Every structure is written in C-alpha cells, then in structure tokens.
Amino acid sequence: MRKSIKKSIILTMVALLALTFSIPVCATENKTNATASNINSPEAATSTTSGSLLLDDKAGLLKGSEPQQLLETLDMASSNSDCNIVVLTTNQGLSESAIQSYADSYYRTNVQGKSPSTFCITLTVDISSRKVDVGTYNPGSKRNLNDNAKDELREYVTGDLTDGNYYKAFTKYADKASDMAVSINEDGSRNKAAFPWVKRIIISLVIGVILAVLICIIIKAQLKSVAMKSNAADYVREGSLNITSQSDRFLYSNVTKTAKPKNNSSGGGYGGGSSGSHSTGSF
C-alpha cells in the first residue's frame, strides 16, 4: 500500500516538473510567433498608399492596417465597375468651392490619363472644416452620375463620418459607388439589369397573386350549399310580410370633376451630369 502511495507521489511530482519546464518553452514559442506575426502584419510594416491613384489619406483618418484594406476594397470596386473610385482626405479647412477644386486638381494630376477607365468618382473629406464632397469625372462620355445620385452617395456616408467611423464610411462608399457606376451604360441610360432586387419584387408579387387566386378558388369550391336565388321568398316566413306597393326614389346627385395633372418631369436614373460636377455638404 505504501509503495503504491509513494509511486503515485513520484509520478505526480514528475508530471509537475515536466509541466513546469514546458511553460517557458511555450511562452518562448508564442513570443517568437507573435514577433513573426508583427513583422509580417501591415501595422508593423510601413503602411503607405503612395503610388496609388485611388487613396490619399493626408488627414491620417485610417489607422493600422485600414489603409491597405481600404485600398484593396477600392481596387476591387474599381475593377468590378470599370470606374476609378477614389477616397481623399485632408485637414486644410477647405471651403465648399475649395474642396471641389482640391478634388479636381487631384483628378487632373493623379487620375486623368493614368488609368484605362476615364470614369472617376471621388469622395473628399476635410476633417478640419468637416466638409464632404462627391465629385464625378468622365470627359467626353455620357456615362456619369446625375445630381440626385451624387447627393444620394454623399448622404449615404455622412452618418458614419459624423460618428467618426471613417473606415466604415469609406468602404460603404466604395460599394455604393461601384453599384452606381455599373448601373450606367455608355449612352448614359440606366442599366435595369444591374438592379436584381426589382426583379425579385416583381416575382414575389406575381407569386403572391397566384397563391391568392388559388386560395380563393379553393374556398369558393367548398361553398356548395350556396346557390343564387331570383328572390328572397325562401328567407321570409309565409304571411309575415305583405307589400302593397313599391317605388324607387333617387334623392341626391353630386358630381365633382378634377383635371388630371400633367407630368412634365423627365425620367429618373443615375445617368446624366457633366464631368467634374460635385455634391458638397457637411458632416
């Protein structure tokens, strides 16, 4: 019995000693892995977007790996839509006209003639004046965003900019701008095929109507006891009703006529607009 107890104690101590010696090894291995991870991470490396025509974060609103991640998002959005989708930030305290000129200057210097696509959409944010501008450029082409589309795109990201969620605002802008760019044909017309949700709504409505008609037909088929009667004699007790005369009197007549309004507005969509046009606001 004593030998068994001693053997158990010895085995326990050996296990504890082995565990004690293994802890520093694990810690060293984790430390080594962490160091290697830091070296390879975008945060440890010099995070820069220099040389890219799609992102210029002069205000430093993006932190850590966000610049590289956003640049990848902008690259993909631009490639999918055949449009240069650009994000610019500054802290110069620019006015409305100045921030538009800032975007125009960047487009002429860094984008125009340096990309296969002539279509360009810019989002410019001035953190000092809290101005935000959406500009569109496509010289000599009708493929562009009209004023309503630029306003929609700017307002789409204003809330996140106000809350300081800059990376989220810029990624949302990239996706929205790409969708808008895809929806416009070269002649400026709206590409309805780019809006699959419209088809889904129509299909859902058609299915709903078909189901409603089938249900009504089934319910009607179950009402076999109901038949049309030419009079209500079957519902009146014999001798309880004696009608001596009847007449119809038309008491009132009131007719109101209203002219149908004419629709002189032009069609909607995202097409139209001239190159270098802007939608500017505050956040």
CATH assignment at residue 110 = 3.10.310.50
What's the total number of domains in the chain?
A: 2
219's enclosing H/E stretch is helix 196-221
Q: 120 with 107: CB under 8 angstroms?
A: yes
Query: What is the distance between the alpha carbons of residues 255 and 115, in angstroms, rounded to a whole number?
Result: 66
Alpha helices in 61-195 (DSSP H): 66-81, 96-106, 147-162, 166-182
Same domain flag for 61 and 148: yes
Q: Specify whether 22 is located in the same domain as 93.
A: no
Q: Give dist(CA 114, CA 149) in Å, integer.
A: 26
Q: Identify whether residues 93 and 188 lie together within a single domain.
A: yes
Residue 131 placed within a domain: yes
Residue 110: give the domain boundaries.
55-194+272-282
Q: Are residues 67 and 151 in the same domain?
A: yes
Report yes or no on 199 lying in a domain. Answer: no
Classify residue 92: in a domain, yes or no: yes
* Per-residue pLDDT, 172: 96
Please check whether residues 151 and 35 belong to one and the same domain: no
| 249 occurs within a structural domain | no
Residue among 178, 179, 177, 206 at smallest CA distance from 195: 179
Tokens of 108: 């002429």
Do 80 and 1 share a structural domain? no
Whether residue 86 sits in one domain with residue 4:
no
145 lies in the same domain as 76: yes
In a domain, 215, yes or no: no
Specify whether the CB–CB gap between 154 and 279 falls below 8 A.
yes
Residue 5: the pLDDT is 52
pLDDT along the chain (283 residues), means of 10: 52 54 39 33 36 87 95 94 95 95 94 90 96 93 89 95 96 95 79 60 88 87 69 71 73 69 48 66 92
How much is the pLDDT for 267?
40
| Residue 203 located in a structural domain | no
**Does 59 lie in the same domain as 36?**
no
Does 84 share its domain with 23? no
Categorise residue 75: left if φ over 0, alpha if ψ from -120 to 50, beta otherwise.
alpha
User: Measured between alpha carbons, how far apart are the two ends of the chain, in Å?
Assistant: 81
What pLDDT score was predicted for residue 157? Answer: 95
158 and 23, same structural domain? no
pLDDT for position 262: 60
142 is a domain residue: yes
At 53, the amino acid letter reads: L
**pLDDT at position 183, please?**
87
The reply to whether 89 and 65 lie within a common domain is yes
- Write the burial class of residue 237 (CB in 10 Å: 0-12 exposed, 13-18 middle, 19+ buried): exposed
